[in-house]
Amino acid sequence: MYEIPFLRPNLVKKERLLSNFEKIEASRIYSNYGPLNHLFETRVIAQMFGDIGAAVTVHNATLGLMLAISQSKRPRGKYAVMPSFTFAATPLAAEWCGLEPYFLDIEPDDWQMNRAQLRETVERLGEQIAVVVPYATFGSAIDLSIYDNLLQEGIPVVIDAAASFGTTVAEDAAQFGKGFGGAVVFSFHATKTFGVGEGGLVYSADQDLIQRIRRAGNFGFSSSRESVMLGLNSKISEYTAAIALATLEGFQVVLERRKTVIGYYHHELQQQDLLQRGWSVQNMQGRVPLQFFSMLSPNPPGNQEVIRRLAAHSIEARTYFSPACHQQKQFRSYPHSDLQVTERITDRIISLPLWEEMDESTVGRIVKVLGSITEENAI
């Protein structure tokens, strides 16, 4: 056991769930897009998306990606274009939809999908592209105008925004994704900022798209309960919906607390002068309630040595996403662009602990270890 673990999920306490649990017992409705699920979806659209668009809950974000891709993709296309610097769920979802991932590089500053490569790939592959799946890296907002243009060109877009629920953009402090005409998929896994245990949400300004996803997530049933399309079961239980409702009620407190912890990191990095000594951080867009704190280590020593040294001080850290997808056995055979930036970042990426109870001294302890590694490496 580490004295400072990587993550400490902190779901809502049982006292805040009892009233909705009583409603479930009274209604005897336990699943199948029940009344609490409907209430949660309605409140999310009102509170997070300004009453624009529609949303449907899913049992997890991987199912959300599968459903969104399956209901968006062009039938004659074969490729799902995406960054290699993403979680394995993204290319796996494409495979489940009968597509081949086509991996692109990322930008060196914001770690988002390389825009020049994307345009070149769209022009070169043309109708072979079934869908484009950008990743909102580590919860950051991304420039949606690029993907709005693709939608207007007839190219479907599904945004993997797994860690972006709670991320707001400066224009109107609205939830990232608001008004986007493609699908935006969020994760509610216990380790996310908005954690319910296991769950997710698919949002779009296109209400017809959400209706198709909802139907596909309920065995492809029509109103007469006849399966009329390819489907599966992605529904959440009413108990999960109860947790989600309670989480939404207290979400602003969580966001503010994470903002405070992120502030501790930036202060301590400045105190240790690490950003002037070979370390760097992602150029984030929007206000992002980080799931964890990501940095690029100097090279040398590289991320594996940093992980080892942190562990020696009883600090748990990870390396999201190293290896990148194109380096993993399942995906090595798929086509890809030049991935120099991705490969350079995967050698250096460090994912540092972030949880709501962290105080400034805990963050200071982590950053001081990074400082000592930097000093020893300079000798």
Bridge partner list, 5: none
Bridge partners, residue 280, by sequence: 296
Beta strands in 150-206 (DSSP E): 158-160, 168-169, 174-175, 183-187, 200-204
Residue 78 a catalytic site member:
no
Please spell the DSSP secondary structure of 32-95, one letter per residue. SS-HHHHHHHHHHHHHHSTT-SEEEEESSHHHHHHHHHHHHS-TT--EEEEESSS-THHHHHHH
Cβ neighbours for 106, distance < 8 A, ≥ 6 positions apart: 83, 84, 85, 112, 113, 114, 137, 341, 342, 345
Comparing CA positions, the residue from 30, 7, 379 lying closest to residue 192 is 7
Backbone torsions φ then ψ of 93, nearest 5 degrees: -60, -40
Q: Which of 78, 192, 235, 259 is catalytic?
A: 192
Whose CA is closest to 52, among 203, 215, 213?
203
Task: Show the tokens assigned to 249.
Answer: 């009620």
| C-alpha to C-alpha distance for 281 and 6, rounded to whole angstroms | 18
Active site residues: 192
